Amino acid sequence: MLYNLQKPIIFAHRGASADAPENTLAAFELALQQGANAIELDVKLSADNVPVVIHDSTVDRTTDGSGAVANLSLSALKELDAGDGQKIPTLDEVFESLGGKLFINIELTNYSTRDDQLVEKVVEIVKKHNLSQGIIFSSFLPKNLKVAGKLLPEVPRGLLAQPNFLGWFMRNILFRIGDFQALHPQLNNCSKRTIENTHGIERQIYAWTINEAEDMRRVADWGIDGIFTDDVQLAVKVLR
């Protein structure tokens, strides 16, 4: 399904996060209404090992609560306001609401709990909803993508890379020798040459996070496969 989406793919970054609370059902549903053909979301485990959709390792920035996500049970997380009365959704709830309606980029974000069972728990839910054709996994941790590849080899995997020396190594060395189907660089690390080189090894490239019309036009002219954006309405206006 990923390779059949209209290019460049518009991934609503944490949903339509310019217009709704990030990583909430409201943001994902709004992204669909605004014309995105994909969404990006972040998943980590609650204290009772339920995959929940939230970006940060703590709830402090995006909710009215405080504390580490890994130390809070699902019931405790559900008591929090994630903005405009929205609740932190579980991955299961997102699939129930939007599975099959939008392509979904699942970022595996157990960056502070690297030895947990996040990948295995997420794979269980993907299989439960029969959505292996409607998702892509991404992560800054190659280990996550390796495990995901063993459990669900049919699901494409995108390697995220930071704009630092480690990111350079991941983009230029690890990506080329690893079993990844896509590269996810930051905008500043995305050039026409980068796109051409990625296509030259028959892989895809999706850049983050692009919120300016000029940047959207430039990478589209270079032939990028997709962008992550907070501003879905602008991306639709510029790219469609």
C-alpha to C-alpha distance for 153 and 165, rounded to whole angstroms: 29
Give yes or no for a contact between 236 and 216, defined as CB atoms under 8 angstroms apart. no
Q: 74: Cβ–Cβ under 8 A, 6 or more apart, which residues?
A: 46, 48, 50, 52, 90
Name the catalytic one among 55, 129, 184, 199: 55
55 flagged as catalytic = yes
13 flagged as catalytic = yes
Give burial (CB, 10 Å; 0-12/13-18/19+) of 67. Answer: middle
Name the catalytic one among 13, 129, 184, 199: 13
Any idea which residues carry the catalytic annotation?
13, 55
